[in-house]
Structure 1
Amino acid sequence: MFRRREAVPFAFVAEADRFRSNVEPPPRERPSASTILGRSLIGLTVAGGLVGALLLGVPALSYDQSPSHTQKSEASDGR
């Protein structure tokens, strides 16, 4: 059920908080030209889609206040 935990001296725990490894990770590989081009094309496609959605959506959401576009229901004609 319960595992027996070994006692850890306080000095070891305090030392573990400030321990820094002297092993460096391997250097990152530089992305190739095709990778950079692909990422930039994806970014431009996403940005273009957002701009296009904004250009198409703003006129649809605008409230037109001209009286020529008022709606009348047939029930209010007084038949």
Structure 2
Amino acid sequence: MFRRREPVPFAFIAEADKFRSNVAPPPRQRASASELVGRWLIGLTVVAGLGGSLFLGLPAMSADISPTHTQQSDASQGR
């Protein structure tokens, strides 16, 4: 395509790697005991829900090839 012949006046982009801030971010606060327990309970609830749905859903998804109970009518027995 077209190439610019004049220099691009963005010299500050090249100097951005050298820039260091003298302002430090505040330190992270440690999570309290109740917050940690809450996180564990939420995680445990999610895992238990997924496990329970898998436990209850697997029998419904299994394909029985041989039927365990066949229905016979009285007419087919010849009475």
User: Could you state the TM-score of these two structures normalised by the residue count of structure 1?
Assistant: 0.67
1:60 alignment partner in structure 2: 60
Unaligned runs of 5+ in 2: 1-7, 72-79
Matches within 5 A, 1:19-58: 19-58=19-58
Aligned residues: 63
How many Å separate the matches in 1 of 2:43 and 2:30? 19
Larger Rg: 2
Asked if 1:12 is matched to 2:12, the reply is yes
Aligned-residue offset at 1:21: 2.1
Cα root mean square deviation, aligned: 2.1
How many Å separate the matches in 2 of 1:69 and 1:63? 15
User: Could you state the TM-score of these two structures normalised by the residue count of structure 2?
Assistant: 0.67
Unaligned runs of 5+ in 1: 1-7, 72-79
